[in-house]
Amino acid sequence: MSIQQNILVAVDAVVFGYMNANLHVLLVKRKGSTFHKEWALVGGFVLDDEPLTTAVKRELKEETGVQLDYLEQLYTFGDTVDRDPRSRVISVAYFGLINSSKIVPIGDTDAMEAKWYPVNELPDLAFDHSAILSAALNRLRAKLTYQPIGFDLLPNEFLFSELEQLYVTLLGKDIDRRNFRKKIMSFGFLEETSLFKQKKSGRPAKLFRFNDLKYRELESKGIYFDL
């Protein structure tokens, strides 16, 4: 078998972070010849002997230094704009989340190269990255309602009101605080800590923790988590 192909394989990552009660995406300013100085998703070409997820993590490390808490394959975009005029590129897009307490503020200087953008204040993006980002947003919102994925966007210990706020922000619809709490607690993967957190005013609130082990145990029993 002797196949001659001229298609390049790339990976792109849509990485979401949650800060200031808002969803953010990690973008980098391109330095290459194509789309020079434009904002784009983190990504790049896959090495010959490199697994796809390894490629994603490598690019992420090289370009931003960020480490992921959640990563899954999103979709493969193959019928799109070329990166290099001489060759077609197909891009395997990934979708990642990062724990908000691990977020390193980057790109606040003038010589910035990577930056967290609020999803409702996005700049124009290079390539078809707007389409990829849009697909990732849909996936995130859909997944949020049947998989406890929101915890990967919060710090390890968080207030119930923060969790609630996250859902309100990402799903864009109101939640009844009491019913929400009842539902989440009924799943059994959240545990109270002995810690409290005091805001500027109001009653101090318990901090909660997501018990990943417990979650996996429940999941393996085929239990569903509809919100």
Partner DNA sequence: ACATTATGCGTAATTTTTACACAAAAGTAA
Partner DNA sequence: TTACTTTTGTGTAAAAATTACGCATAATGT
Q: Compute CA distances 102 → 16, 77, 97, whole Å.
A: 12, 30, 11
Say if strands 88-98 and 70-77 run parallel, antiparallel, or are unpaired.
Answer: antiparallel
Minimal CA–CA distance to 13: which of 127, 122, 94? Answer: 94
Give alpha helix (H) positions in 79-211: 129-144, 160-171, 177-187
Please identify, among the stretches 41-49, 90-98, 123-131, 171-179, the one whose residues bind DNA according to the rule CB under 7 A: 171-179
**136 makes contact with its own copies (CB under 8 A):** no
The rounded distance, in Å, linking the Cα atoms of 196 and 219 is 29
Can you tell me which of 33, 109, 179, 220 binds DNA, judged by CB under 7 A? 179
**42 makes contact with its own copies (CB under 8 A):** no
- Residue closer to DNA by CB (options 102, 182) is 182
The one of DNA, its own copies, none whose footprint includes residue 123, by CB under 5 to 8 A per kind, is none
Please identify, among the stretches 6-14, 36-44, 76-84, 203-211, the one whose residues bind DNA according to the rule CB under 7 A: 203-211
Is 162 one of the annotated active-site residues of the chain?
no
Catalytic residue among 50, 113, 157, 219: 113
The rounded distance, in Å, linking the Cα atoms of 108 and 103 is 13
Question: Tokens at residue 85, please?
Answer: 């005029």
Can you tell me which of 19, 22, 45, 143 binds its own copies, judged by CB under 8 A? 45
The rounded distance, in Å, linking the Cα atoms of 177 and 197 is 18
The rounded distance, in Å, linking the Cα atoms of 91 and 13 is 10
Can you tell me which of 67, 199, 216, 217 binds DNA, judged by CB under 7 A? 199
The rounded distance, in Å, linking the Cα atoms of 61 and 27 is 13
Can you tell me which of 70, 205, 209, 218 binds DNA, judged by CB under 7 A? 205
**Contacting residues toward DNA, per CB under 7 A:** 159-161, 176-179, 181-183, 198-206, 226
Contact residues for its own copies, defined by CB under 8 A: 1, 3, 5-9, 32-34, 45-46, 48-49, 51-53, 73, 75-76, 78-79, 83-84, 88, 90, 92
